[in-house]
Structure 1
Amino acid sequence: MAGNPAPFAPYEWMIAWRYLRARRAEGGVSVMTWISLIGITLAVFALIATLAVRSGFRSEFVGTILGANAHVTVYSAARVTETGRRDRTIPDYAEMAKRIAAVPGVLHAAPVVRGQVMISSANRSSGAEVHGISAADLARLPGIVDGDGDYGDLSRYDDGIAIGAGIARELGVTAGDRVKLISPNGVRTPMGTSPRVKSYPVVYVFSAGRYDIDRTRIYMPFAEAQSYFNREGVADELQLRVADPEAVDRLAPAIQAAAGENALVWTWRDASGGFLRALEVEDNVMFVILSILVLIATMNIVSGLIMLVKNKGRDIGILRTIGLGEGAILRVFFICGAATGVTGTICGVILGSLFAIYIDPIFSFVNYVMGGGVWDPAIRGIYALPAELHLADVLKAVALSLGLSFVVTIFPARRAARLNPVEALRYE
């Protein structure tokens, strides 16, 4: 006597396929199948698109932070001078920078002078922050010297200043023009401190990819900044770049030890930690909400299968009578529901992946239809909506969709398997 056929035998797939192709009299089943398919497709598409945009936004935001800013900043603790003034400058910045640069994992340590100014040209003016840094140290900032919108001659940096593209647009200036910098803490005279006004040529215009940086930052040669801000012989801070910015917290104790007990260490995570934590919370909430959307979409499979079981009651009774067991019936209807979930998931993955890959032309089209201004960099901080498609995000969405589809399919399939063939055929 032949043994029982293996689970998911070809005849089970054949029966399930015939049930999925509902006839005109069973149009309700076909409609519910299509509703389930479209719902799962849209839910998976939304989940993958959201995960891709989330990954792209975080990567773009962190990339601009690490490309244009210091990974670690070292300050000096406040000390009281002989005149009673609180001073936080670093007089031995060269020796401190040398000690810190010797720490394993630290790539470079640059002394910096910082100050607030008013920058003006013709009848336009704007507030800005000056970073006094040497040409060699500026060349180590990839977000400043390797930006897409940079122009000018950085080799002439020692003869002028470099300004952000946002400042250049605000003032209507370009490389080669002259601008005036006005500092309230200027020349010291017997009558007090008078504002310092000095004209500089713009030799370089950079675009760091961050609206707030491009709109407010100016780079000035270190020695000139010392003179301009009355910092002769001192620096305001040391800006460090490390080999592994993601592991910067592990380097902080060694940097602190090299800098000395009167130094204060501030990492890029400390500076942007609040935003990154808020972004992480938002990511988790969005994933939960979209997971519920996927669950709602998969619940349509239950409705379609219940209708299918009701319409196929006579068929189930006949199949049980000719020898099919409960397991075979369960698998037939499980295949019907799972096929809808798998097809919807595949379509959703394709749509979501295409959205992430072609987000730029899609977003440009949306911006054109809406008349422009859809994405405001002054609010978002970056200039465009980014998206990065990661395999882990796609697999997460696929696992969630297929897992829910398979789970919700079991209950109506079990109902079909437990249908009493006598009751199913009593009135036939």
Structure 2
Amino acid sequence: MPSPRPFSRYEFLIAWRYLRARRAEGGVSTMTWISLIGIALGVAALIATLAVRAGFRAEFVDTILGANAHASVYLSATSFTNELTGEVYTQSGRIEDYTDMAARLAAVPGVIRTAPVVKGQVMATAGDRANVAEVFGVTPQDFARIPRIVDPETSVGEIDAFPDGIAIGSGIARELGVVIGDRIRLISPQGAQTAFGTTPRVNAYPVTYIFSAGRYDIDRTRIYMPLPEAQSYFNREDVADEVEVYVEDPENIAALTLPLMEAGGDRALIWTWQDSSGSFLRALDIEDDVMFVILSVLVLIATMNITSGLIMLVKNKGRDIGILRTMGLTEGAVMRVFFLCGAFTGVIGTLAGVALGVVFALNVDHVMSAVNMISGGGAWDPSVRGIYELPARLRGIDIARAVGLSLTLSFLVTIFPARRAARMNPVEALRYE
């Protein structure tokens, strides 16, 4: 008579019966429930943490790319000596042919658009309030194409009114206490040259647009000004400080570095968004790996309870094992029965953990609201985190990693007690029965 195939129906039935322990075997049942709950909580914590980390990174990158250029091309300042007179001349890094440079950069394959920019530091005041700000001088056409800045859902004012005034971040507007139509004074140390030295330049501008880029540091420090006005205000007549470049694939900006420098000319230098934020993103990646390892240890500890429960189960079922062996059950079949006992616990706990983790990730806003209410507010400080809320992004790869880890550990820890049950001598098991 041929032997039944492995993992036959009767093996599943015996394993499922053993898991439904009777009152006299309550210790086994308790250990099973502890194992199941521990695995579920561990998997849920792992999925929720990975979702929050992925959401934070995605939101951080989106705010960077949505409010900043993917790369900035500028010129290096150089010095040269006149061979006839011996005088040393310094050539500034100002871009005089910024229109031509912008056209050359825009012709590079993979570049979507370019924009000449004038930058400067100012002090913004309104009444008795003041705030330090960075001014970006751009054309109205380029300003209207900055995604995070011109979002109608988060901004106040009309884009068409930008040439008649300035656009400020919501953080500046809040700190200065201004609204659309109010005027603020901008004070720049780079003012007019007089016989007594350089005097600060003070101009007043109406606020025609208030934006929220989703980044606390941007909203609190950034002001946009029409390019011609910025050139006049910062003494940059007919020049630009740099040319901003936007590309199709920002994640692959490194591949365009050399073509952009060649298009910019001999003195061209480039600064990409990865140069400014790459170290922070790499730190996030390292933290993701560390968090996965730490939470994996928690899942491992939870799965170790399966071993404890199975050892108790094997001890309680010694008589049954002896009877099953004398009835013709092979060592392999006994091993598979107790392996299935642990596998059932791991699978059910993993599925429960996935459901719990997904529900938490999808309702992270409500969770943070509850935490804020309990803690009295301030649980999420945008001045520290940079973004205004805790995001979560569920990814299939993260769920698969958590499920794979949990099931692998659950299956591995069942091998030792299952082998112990399979190697039990039926004669010894029934000697005192």
Question: How far apart are 1:148 and its partner, in Å?
Answer: 3.5
Amino acid at match of 2:53: R
Which of the residues 366, 369, 394 maps onto 1:364? 369
* Aligned counterpart for 2:177 among listed residues 148, 157, 172: 172
Q: Distance in 1 between matches of 2:43 and 2:64?
A: 32
**In the aligned structure 2, how far is the partner of 1:313 from the partner of 1:397?**
35
- 1:175 deviates by 1.1
Displacement of 1:191 in angstroms is 2.1
* Structure 1 partner of 2:84: none
CA–CA distance in structure 2, aligned partners of residues 86 and 413 of structure 1? 80
TM-score w.r.t. length of structure 2: 0.97
From 195, 214, 225, give the equivalent of 1:209.
214
Q: 2-side partners of 1:422 and 1:148: how far apart?
A: 78
CA contact (8 A) 1:147 1:207 kept: no
- CA offset at residue 85 of structure 1? 5.3
Is residue 259 from structure 1 mapped to residue 264 from structure 2 by the alignment?
yes
Partner residue in 2 for 1:5:
4
Offset, 1:84: 5.2
**Corresponding residue for residue 112 of structure 1:** 117
Alignment check: 8 A CA contact 2:63 2:215 kept: yes
Contact 2:314 2:421 in 1 (8 A): yes
SS in 1 for 2:214: coil
Give the corresponding residue for 2:331: 326
- Name the counterpart of 1:383: 388
- Equivalent-residue separation in structure 1 for 2:91 and 2:256 (angstroms): 29
Structure 2 counterparts to residues 237-248 of structure 1, below 5 A: 237-248=242-253
Matched, 1:417 2:416: no
Where do 1:124-203 residues align within 5 Å? 124-146=129-151, 148-203=153-208
Does residue 349 of structure 1 match 2:348?
A: no
- Distance in 2 (CA, whole Å) between partners of 1:148 and 1:375 is 22
Once the 2 structures are TM-superposed, how far is the Cα of residue 149 of structure 1 from its aligned partner?
Answer: 2.1
Distance 1:149 1:66 in 2: 17
Query: Residue type matched to 2:50 in 1?
Result: L
Alpha-carbon distance in 2 for matches of 1:125, 1:159: 22
Residue deviations 1:363-389, cap 9 Å, x none? 112111211100000000000000000
Residue 29 of structure 1 is matched in structure 2 by 28
Q: Which amino acid aligns with 2:141?
A: A
Is 1:289 the equivalent of 2:288? no
> Which residues of structure 1 form unaligned runs of 5+?
none
Q: 1:318 to 1:24 in 2, by over 3 A?
A: same
Scaled by the length of structure 1, what TM-score is found?
0.98
Runs (4+) off by over 3 Å: 80-86
Q: Which residue of 2 aligns with 1:77?
A: 76
Q: For the residues of structure 1 that align with 2:260 and 2:39, how far apart are their CA atoms? A: 52
Alignment length (residue pairs): 427
Which residue of structure 1 lines up, in the alignment, with residue 83 of structure 2? none
- Checking the alignment, whether the CA contact within 8 Å between 2:77 and 2:90 is kept in structure 1 is no
What is the Cα deviation at residue 426 of structure 1?
1.0
More off after superposition, 147-156 vs 192-201:
147-156
Query: Do structure 1's residue 393 and structure 2's residue 398 form an aligned pair?
Result: yes
Deviation at 1:9, TM superposition (A): 1.2
For residue 64 of structure 1, what is the aligned residue in structure 2?
63
- Write the distance in 2 (CA, Å) between the matches of 1:16 and 1:299: 19
1: CA distance, partners of 2:68 / 2:275? 13
Name the SS for the 1:330 alignment partner.
Answer: helix
TM-superposition CA deviations, 1:241-269 (whole Å, max 9, x none): 00110111111111111111200011111
Q: By how many angstroms is 1:25 displaced?
A: 1.0
Aligned-CA RMSD value:
1.2
Give SS of 2:168's match.
strand
What secondary structure, in the 3-state scheme, does the structure 2 residue paired with 1:145 have? coil
User: How far 1:359 sits from its partner (Å)?
Assistant: 1.0
- 2:16 aligns with 17
Partner of 2:92: 87
